[in-house]
Structures are given as structure tokens and as C-alpha cells.
Amino acid sequence: MTDCGCEKARRDLEEYLRNEVCKTQHTDIAEHLENCAGCRDEALVARTLTEVVARACKETAPEELRDQVLAKLRAVQATH
């Protein structure tokens, strides 16, 4: 198993979710997420945040909602 490690996975997570990383990194991170529950949670929250913000931006851009999501994100991160 060529696990890339939590540090790298989390550093590249944002790019990974935007599919902007190269294929090798992408594979490394996908593999890490499969084997690491902590980073998988992180990825799920980050993906949800991205989707919620994207959806919110199509309508209005409610600062309140954004703050709520960010607070939730920090709460999840704090548990790791």
C-alpha cells in the first residue's frame, strides 16, 4: 500500500475535490481516503461545503448559511 499520508491528503483535498490535481496525486489521495476514516470525513465535509456554497451562490449568497457551514466544518476538524 502506498499511502500518501494524512498531511498530504488534507493539503491536496481541496484540489482533489475540484479535480485539479494530476492523475497520480488523485489516485494517491483516493487510496488514502479509502483507508483513512478521518480524512474521509474531512473530504465529505469539504465536498458538502463546496456543494452547499455552490448552490447558495446560484440563489443568493447568504453569509449566515456560509458561517453555519464553516462552523460545522471547524467542529468536525476539531474532533480529529
- For the bound state, the minimum distance from the C-beta of residue 7 to Zn ion, rounded and expressed in Å, comes to 8
Contact call for residue 6 and Zn ion (CB under 5 A): yes
Q: What is the dihedral of CA 35, 80, 25, 56, to 10 degrees?
A: 110
- For residue 6, the surrounding DSSP H or E stretch is helix 6-11
Binding mask 35-74 for Zn ion (x = CB under 5 A): -x--x-----------------------------------
Smallest distance, Zn ion to C-beta of residue 65, A: 28
Picking from 57, 3, 50, 64, the residue whose alpha carbon sits closest to that of residue 29 is 3
Report the interface residues with Zn ion, using CB under 5 A: 6, 36, 39
